[in-house]
Structure 1
């Protein structure tokens, strides 16, 4: 690559590493994803991210990736960033066909409610301790654990001088703990659907919150693979934040963001690597020194967490990232459309 600039070398490396996808519609087969076999050898947990909670294409591309993980690599479980209790209705339908799938999905909710008295948290812990110490069905202990975690989250503040006391820190730790419970089965291989900020191997919220992905990487090493999902431009659906607050009774609206060409924006680079949807493995294979430097530089990526966006400044909604530290791979969608609420 002599005579090329650093930007040229990065662009050429990304182009050479890009694995093009044969569209996003499920059922298209898995042959196009075959190059991921080597990257995922020995992996038991794959974090499948998303830059927003309200973009249709993120669900489609993760569906395709899940097909590959299940059909080709033997993955057994899908875990989703959502209410564990409400998701049981979805699980019942998926495993046995019972219930109504639309009603089950409509019952899922993200987030936590207002702070509760700490005594409620203590009561929930006592119930869990009691059920752990007596002979009860596994379901009872699982429900008690969910109640205890929910009570703890609901009793924590969003902000605190000690970040370890905040709801966000506890939430990501509980997300990782619950994935580990699924991995207690030695034959289990788990795909986790969650926001990029959760599946990443670093910290979010300015670095003050250890992400679920970082917990999983610390516990499982190379057996955890973080695949961030990015988009160049398009639309997403979210609720508006006004004066720092969100009214849950107000329906979500559609936001639109353009492609940004600045070289410090990850999506600007990915948009030039391949014109369509593609996946890039960052973990394995040789790379020029210029690419190693770029992967280790502070960059920015689009990210709208909590299904919320600010009314006027949402186009400036970026998350800091160092790709080499935060992700093992990237999936890219050039343009998104807003998801359709149930």
Structure 2
């Protein structure tokens, strides 16, 4: 899909319409209150599932606006679940904290997916916990949309088995597992981008470790048999984790309907209305194209739109330029929607793509377009590659939120042994 060029007259009309219809957002911190998001949250209130998508996971302002929307949907509109891009095991720990106060948010996040391990997430979890304390009979839950994933403790379990029952092979097993557990701190594809990857694909080492485990003589006795069974289960999780990573799949694109089914099943089982946090590639209500080659990708949002229809509403939160921590993102290329949105002279605002508009604006909203999307492998010098394509912005997203300048999230320290 390519973006058609926009005539000067049409561009001018789009920019005028954006300026006339932009609704200012005065607070981009999670704790901010005020009526500036009222129109947006009232519009979202009728949905069964609301997707709050971000163009980057590294912006504090993006996170703050997303948290503000979540809080209002919970307190004023009866939403009772938060779905996150993480495994079921991680989601269960977060849920245990916010529902019952088990542990604390820092330990609950220790083995979470790296982009969730921020002070901003801690603030969200603490707010949810406080809300549940005040509403013990009407609690809000958290769940991970991915199947159970391997975690650092699983590597320890496999190695502990070998050291006790097959000590002569433990060092060989550790040689496979030690390098690849680093993916729980820095994703494998990010390691490749940063030039710190050890070389051999992590999935190959994971499979080699499982093969080695299968080859070990099984010691007699119920205790050994139980330990062996546990070690095999953990090793299989490790293989699955690395085979299904971005590096293991060979890219970001894919067609895995499981996360959408997880959200759908959660609603069908609990009746809860759900706020779903993820990247805009995942929350878009239609198929998208990723990168310069526009590799086709069916995200969770397209599955949710197919199932819930207008009961699924999607909000895309993007930005114009700014500090993302390790890199500074420049102003967007002129052909991107982000550049059009940047013509509005406001620090932050939103625009509803379903509002009434003149025919030329409706045609612009329905035409193929491209948007910026920044992942962990982003290179400002190759900013042109950091984009996704949609056949229609209005079909992909109901609302666009735009932030003029961003600053970085606050990362939590890496957990020991992660």
Query: Does the alignment reach a TM-score above 0.5?
Result: yes
Q: CA offset at residue 333 of structure 1?
A: 1.1
Which moved further from structure 2: 211-220 or 13-22? Answer: 13-22
Aligned partners of 2:408 and 2:337: how far apart in 1? 21
Aligned partners of 1:9 and 1:309: how far apart in 2? 32
Q: TM-score, normalised by structure 2?
A: 0.62
Query: Alpha carbons of 1:103 and 1:204: their partners in 2 closer, same or farther (altered >3 Å)?
Result: farther
**Please, which of 30, 40, 46 is the counterpart of residue 42 of structure 1?**
46
Q: CA offset at residue 340 of structure 1?
A: 2.0
Q: CA offset at residue 311 of structure 1?
A: 7.5
Residues 1:192 and 2:261 aligned together? no
1:27: which partner in 2? 31
2:311: which partner in 1? 223
Q: CA offset at residue 49 of structure 1?
A: 0.7
Residues 1:308 and 2:377 aligned together? yes
Which moved further from structure 2: 107-116 or 326-335? Answer: 107-116
**Please, which of 353, 377, 388 is the counterpart of residue 319 of structure 1?**
388
Residues 1:109 and 2:113 aligned together? yes
Root mean square deviation, CA, Å: 3.2
2:357: which partner in 1? 287
Q: Aligned with 1:191: secondary structure?
A: strand
Residues 1:87 and 2:87 aligned together? no
Residues 1:265 and 2:353 aligned together? no
1:203: which partner in 2? 288
Structure whose alpha-carbon radius of gyration is higher: 2
Q: CA offset at residue 53 of structure 1?
A: 1.7
The answer to whether the 8 A contact 1:13-1:291 is kept is yes
**Which stretches in structure 1 are left out of the alignment for 5+ residues?**
121-143, 238-253
Query: Alpha carbons of 1:174 and 1:154: their partners in 2 closer, same or farther (altered >3 Å)?
Result: farther
Q: CA offset at residue 180 of structure 1?
A: 1.1
Query: Alpha carbons of 1:271 and 1:197: their partners in 2 closer, same or farther (altered >3 Å)?
Result: same
Aligned partners of 2:367 and 2:47: how far apart in 1? 26
Aligned partners of 2:304 and 2:238: how far apart in 1? 21
Aligned partners of 1:43 and 1:317: how far apart in 2? 30
Which moved further from structure 2: 83-92 or 54-63? Answer: 83-92
1:296: which partner in 2? 366
2:300: which partner in 1? 212
Query: Alpha carbons of 1:76 and 1:148: their partners in 2 closer, same or farther (altered >3 Å)?
Result: farther
Query: Alpha carbons of 1:67 and 1:148: their partners in 2 closer, same or farther (altered >3 Å)?
Result: farther
Aligned partners of 2:26 and 2:271: how far apart in 1? 30
Q: Structure 1 or 2: larger helix share?
A: 2
Query: Alpha carbons of 1:261 and 1:18: their partners in 2 closer, same or farther (altered >3 Å)?
Result: same
Q: Aligned with 1:35: secondary structure?
A: helix
Query: Alpha carbons of 1:211 and 1:92: their partners in 2 closer, same or farther (altered >3 Å)?
Result: same
The answer to whether the 8 A contact 2:328-2:380 is kept is no
The answer to whether the 8 A contact 1:149-1:174 is kept is no
1:69: which partner in 2? 73
Aligned partners of 2:236 and 2:351: how far apart in 1? 39
2:139: which partner in 1? none
